[in-house]
Amino acid sequence: MLRILWERGPSTVRDLHEEIANRRNVGYTSVLKLLQIMTEKGLVEREESGKAHIYHPAATQHETQDQLVRDMSERLFAGSAAQLAMRALAMEPVNDEELEELRNLIERKRQRQ
């Protein structure tokens, strides 16, 4: 849902439900409940506009991804971003362009030490 909100911008529950329902079978109330949970967790914010509630991300995609990866690294990999990255790379195929980006990132990290 966050991806949709980042792409579309502020949206109602109905807007989000229609977008998600195009991809998979999900009920309106399921979308609403998830948005309520995401609001409680601070991932999205809600504004009232007449009868409709408008939802939007609480942070940018980059900020949210950074925080979620940081949390996952702490909880599952004792804070090791390298262990997290190696595990992710071992699970999924990586194309040549992504490998080159990784090489460049590693080189930049080496130069900063």
Class of domain 2-57 (CATH, top level): mainly alpha
18 with 4: CB under 8 angstroms? no
Q: Residue 13 and residue 4: Cα distance in Å, rounded? A: 12
Nearest CA-CA partner of 41 in 16, 23, 68: 68
pLDDT confidence bin for 81, thresholds 50/70/90: confident
- The residue ranges of every structural domain in the chain are 2-57, 61-112
**pTM of the prediction?**
0.73
pLDDT 10s digits, 10-47: 999 999 999 999 999 999 999 999 999 999 999 999 99
